[in-house]
Structure 1
Amino acid sequence: MLNVKDIVLVHSERHDVSYVLRICAVAALGGVLFGYDTSVISGAIDSIKEHFQLSPAQTGWAVSNVVVGCIIGAFLSGWMAHKLGRRLTLFICAILFTISAVGAALATTFSWFIIYRIIGGLAVGVAGAVSPMYMSEVAPKDMRGRALSMEQFAVVGGQLIVFIVNYLIASHSTGQWLSDLGWRWMIGSEVVPCVAFCLAIFFIPESPRWHMLSGQDDKALKTLTRISNEKHAQSVMREIRESFHGTADEAVNLLAILRNTGARWIIFVGMMIAMLQQLTGVNVMMYYAPMVLRTTAGSMQSALFQTIWIGIASLLGCAIGAWFVDRNGRRPLMMWGSLGMIFGLLVVSWALYTQTPGLLALLGMIIFMVLYGMSWGPITWVLISEIFPNRLRSVGMSLSTTMLWIINFAVSQFFPMVNENVYLRSHFHGAFSMWLFAGFTAFAMWFVLKFVPETKGIALEKVEAVMLGKSDPSSATTAAWVEVKVSERN
């Protein structure tokens, strides 16, 4: 009979929190490059448009082409993470980021610019899946939300850094210099975090779950013992081993997985979460904010300065989300975040529709980004990292992030075309797209509340039963750690 004292002992299972956070912080540098690479274009796009004499469709392609690489990279990420390991895959990403930054900055033609940006997109697509995958596999379940929030925190941190860098480059420069050289300095500045990531990746261990998938149990035990203690590590390894349900090869056999109804459902939910994140319109704020704000800000320099506040708002939201995600759970944050995002989009749309000068449009974007930063931003990555059981995680995250980038491409490519449509511009002054995003955000909130159970505190090895309705999420946390204690005592 398990008494209250036993339960308290399990619940307070000691982990080396500082060690977990350190290795997750290194993995999160992939997120910094993710944010830096995708958002550097926001400050450079007007100058690139002028330098290469681009049409609205070509302008959209200049921004969205990177997402083509992201789609390919996301699709390959599952195979790479399974065959090469999480750590080596992240190192390859760092090399690709570096090649892209140098090549795009020195490109002499629009075609070569596109090629190098697509290479960067490959790295973003792989890192966007593998960084949170790695963090979900090294973080204990009671701090997994905080650890995975570091990924979004890093993405937003990278975006904020590049917004500041872009503004500093543009603040005292002429339009002609920006068109000739300024955008090259913006793109090339990414080399600095690339080098840092290349060096830091050698200071983290491989994922213990990947070690077990590849038959290296001794190395898995070493890492798990370093994270907590040997007794707890042995217990976790038993759960991991039981969760595989087959050979390592089955983990990447997509056709075999899709024949399983439960697996299909979990993958569908993961792909929908990823898709809906992009349909909120967040990347319009990230990629096109200066273009949107220029009509109310008065000048490009003022618009670039205002984007810094958008980055700060997003960072603040991530900090709030990280604080509450393991305390209050995923679903409440998603609900309140969605409602706040809808309000922010309506404020932006009102400022654009009425052509209100000043800071009203910026205020709406700030409201949107704070609420996005505490909800859909980090929790999307938390959910798609933890809803898949071990045997599905590589494939599930690969397909989910592929869907995320497909929708990102669609939004990035078509926004300039919708925003500069003569009829829509003359009648709605840029507000039409904001109304669309508000509608999609309302649908996204409904989907999560309807189909996504609470996963706070549930072990990765227990999450499949919760996703398929075979376990009560409200009792799953207690059941998971009580089971560990029983196994330790026996």
Structure 2
Amino acid sequence: MKSISDIIVVKSERHDVAYVLRICAVAALGGILFGYDTSVISGAIGPLRDYFHLSAAETGWAVSNVVVGCIFGALASGWLAHHFGRRLTLFFCALLFSAQSVGAALAPTFFWFVIFRLIGGVAVGVASAVSPMYMSEVSPKDMRGRALSMEQFAIVFGQLVVFIVNYLIARSATETWLQTLGWRWMVGSEIVPCILFCATIFLIPESPRWHMTIGREEDAKKTLTRISNEQHALTLMSEIRESLSAEGTQTNFSLRRLFADRNARWIVFIGAMIAALQQVTGINVMMYYAPMVLKNAGSDMRGALFQTIWIGLALLIGSVLGAWIVDRKGRRFLMQFGSIGMILSLLVVSWALYMQTTGPLALSGMLFFMLMFGLSWGPVAWILISEIFPNRFRAIGMSIAVASNWVANFLVAQGFPMISENEWLKSHFHGAFSMWLFAAFGVFAMWFVLRFVPETKGISLEKIETTMMGAPLRQQAQPVITPQTAAKPR
């Protein structure tokens, strides 16, 4: 027979799942714009390159310049999210997305195209940190994985939609029209989800954890009670209050304090590595340059654009599967399983390119890669960097991790066309070299997770630091935080 305390605990853990998913779905519109903005270039890059007469390096810059904006946006996201709140910061992102979609579509020169894409990059960088940050802070611990998977689902959905839009624009168009106007329609079509995001962002509450950091406890209690019930809200507020008082609130947590804190340095390093490794596995070659890869495998331009729809669909299916099992199987299992599948897929694509086969082998390898990435590194990397940082430095920690993600993204986006079009590598390996390189990074990524990343499934955000510092392979190098050690002066 259950005791009264057991009944209270059970009651306090009941949540309004539908409400949590609704507010996370609105926040995830930032992910849709993230996916749409970063992938629209895949269909536009060919006509854009011909219209502005770009070299290989300039072609890479046309794709990767947005990532430079993402880096600065990610670094600024922590400051913006702390000083203005998560919700207002996301609205600011929506305005920047709108400005760049119109400006880049009307750009008279390559210079102005780059300027407006940089503005969009800032929006992507901020949204890529703040949107999952918000979701992690409003989601109960036992459904945090599912809620945060909505961010990856939204990113992939945005990518799939833009692949379809790009194909529909190019399907009946002439090459001349695509070079002069088609790519402008592709870039400008982003204004539609921008308007939707602007119209809905103020329908969701502000993050209760942000309210706690600025002393608005009644507002935090109201939101947490709506998410679950008053008993659970009071219990969680007590944990948040204790977490914030242990080392000072985020208001006082500067970069100087971050690098002076051994625990914080280690956790930020883990987060930055997870974020960067997600990019160097080859995902954005598939997202940015899929038509170029498929053309190397024998497809024409329209056929390549049509095939990118299937690539986006495979990623979407993988994301749905990942969201379904991430809170059942855990983060580490999915990362390991997905890494093996991604490595094998890249080897299949590299074989097709190296042997210069014109059949479906390259496309099959790319589809399986997207499926494996979608159920593993795609959602789980964002889940991990959203939940491994303690309250006291979550905003600044996430901004550094997401900036690392975009730095790695830039290196891949800028470097791939230069590697792909290198005459010596092309003549000897026929485009396979880059796939071998990404497969090698996949092996390293799997090793890193096995060695340094603990399981975080079901761990409260207020207890995450103990879990991170108590990882078995880290115990000898760094003690676990306890009340006694936390009380000692640093």
Common topology (TM > 0.5): yes
**For residues 7 and 437 of structure 1, do their structure 2 counterparts lie closer, same or farther at Cα, with a shift above 3 Å needed?**
farther
Aligned to 1:105: 105
Counterpart position of 1:138: 138
SS of the residue aligned with 2:28? helix
**What's the counterpart of residue 314 of structure 2?**
313
Deviation at 1:369, TM superposition (A): 0.4
Q: Distance in 1 between matches of 2:460 and 2:310?
A: 37
- 8 Å contact from structure 1 (residues 141, 460) kept in 2: yes
Instruction: Tell me what 2:415 maps to.
Output: 414
Match of 1:379?
Answer: 380
CA separation of 1:470 and 1:354: change in aligned 2, threshold 3 A:
closer
Number of the residue aligned with 1:278? 279
Q: Match of 1:58?
A: 58
**1:93 pairs with 2:98:** no
What is the rounded CA distance, in whole Å, between the counterparts of 1:3 and 1:250 in structure 2?
41
Aligned pair count reads 473
1:110/1:119 CA distance change after superposition, 3 Å? same
Q: Verify the 8 A CA contact 2:32 2:156 in the aligned structure 1.
A: yes
Q: CA RMSD in A?
A: 1.8
SS at match of 2:461: coil
Shift of the alpha carbon at 1:88? 0.2
Q: Give the direction of change, closer, same or farther, for the CA distance of 1:168–1:11 in structure 2 (3 Å limit).
A: same
**CA distance in structure 2 between the partners assigned to 1:301 and 1:265 by the alignment:** 47
Q: Retained in 1: the 8 A contact 2:101–2:187?
A: yes
1:425 aligns with 2:401: no
Describe the superposition over 1:172-208 as per-residue Cα deviations: whole angstroms up to 9, x where unpaired: 0010000000000000000000000000101000000
Which whole-Å deviations, capped at 9, do the CAs of 1:93-121 have from their partners, x for residues lacking one? 00000000000000000000000000000
Q: Distance in 2 between matches of 1:471 and 1:351?
A: 41
Displacement of 1:464 after TM fit?
A: 0.4
Is the contact made by 2:12 and 2:228 (CA closer than 8 Å) also made in structure 1?
Answer: no
The answer (yes or no) to whether the contact 2:60–2:415 under 8 Å persists in 1 is yes
CA contact (8 A) 2:453 2:471 kept: no
Partner secondary structure for residue 54 of structure 2: coil
Q: Note if contact 1:29-1:154 (Cα within 8 Å) is conserved in structure 2.
A: yes
Residues 25-64 of structure 1 aligned to structure 2 (within 5 Å) = 25-64=25-64
Distance 2:379 2:11 in 1: 25
Task: Give, in whole Å, the separation in 1 of the partners of 2:7 and 2:289.
Answer: 51
TM-score, reference length from structure 2: 0.94
Q: Give the structure 1 partner of residue 259 of structure 2.
A: 258
Does structure 2 conserve the Cα–Cα contact (< 8 Å) formed by 1:297 and 1:303? no
Residue 200 (structure 2) aligns with: 200
CA displacement at 1:392 relative to structure 2: 1.3
CA-CA distance at 1:279 after TM superposition? 0.7
Unaligned runs of 5+ in 1: 474-490
Are the structure 2 counterparts of residues 380 and 249 from structure 1 closer, same or farther at C-alpha, using a change threshold of 3 Å? closer
In 1, Cα distance between the equivalents of 2:47 and 2:7?
A: 61
The one-letter amino acid paired with 1:396 is G
Note the C-alpha offset of 1:359. Answer: 1.2
Counterpart residue identity of residue 332, structure 2: R
Task: Indicate if the aligned counterparts of 1:297 and 1:359 stay in contact, CA closer than 8 A.
Answer: no
Give the AA of the match of 1:235: T
Per the alignment, residue 302 of structure 1 pairs with 303
Instruction: Tell me which residue corresponds to 1:400.
Output: 401
Q: CA deviation at 1:449?
A: 1.0
Q: Residue 217 of structure 2 aligns with which residue?
A: 217
For residues 381-431 of structure 1, the C-alpha deviation after alignment (integer angstroms, 9 at most, x for no partner) is 000000010011101100000010011001100100000000000010000
> How far did 1:56 drift?
0.3
**1:27-80 residue CA offsets vs partner (Å, 9 max, x unmatched):** 000000000000000000000000000000000000000001000000000000
SS for the counterpart of 2:180 is helix
The answer to whether residue 454 in structure 2 is matched with residue 447 in structure 1 is no
Q: Kindly provide the CA deviation profile for residues 126-148 of structure 1, in whole angstroms up to 9, marking residues without a partner as x.
A: 00000000000000000000000
Q: Specify whether residues 212 and 326 from structure 1 end up closer, same or farther in structure 2 by C-alpha distance, changes over 3 A only.
A: same
Check whether the contact 2:43–2:167 (CA below 8 A) recurs between aligned residues. yes
* Matched residue, 1:339: 340
Q: Is the 8 A contact 1:79 1:252 kept in 2?
A: no
- Cα distance in structure 1, aligned partners of 2:448 and 2:473: 19
In the alignment, structure 1 residue 84 sits paired with structure 2 residue 66: no
Once the two structures are superposed, residues 204-235 of structure 1 have per-residue CA deviations (whole angstroms, 9 ceiling, x without a partner) of 00000000001100000000000000011000
Query: What letter matches 1:411 in structure 2?
Result: V
Deviation at 1:258, TM superposition (A): 1.3
TM-score scaled by structure 1?
A: 0.94
Cα distance between partner residues in 1 of 2:436 and 2:446: 16
> 1:325 is matched by which residue type in structure 2?
V
Alignment check: 8 A CA contact 2:296 2:431 kept: no
Cα–Cα, structure 1 residues 230 and 472, in superposed 2: closer, same or farther, change >3 Å? farther
Deviation at residue 11 of structure 1 after TM alignment? 8.5
1:71 aligned residue: 71
Q: Residues of 2 paired with 1:363 and 1:250: CA distance?
A: 50
Check the 8 A contact 2:268/2:397 in 1, yes or no: yes
* Structure 2 gap ranges (5+): 475-490
- Assess if the C-alpha contact under 8 Å between 1:252 and 1:394 holds in 2: no
Q: Which one-letter code corresponds to 2:121 in the other structure?
A: G
**Aligned 8 A contact 2:31 2:131 in 1:** yes
What letter is aligned with 1:354? M
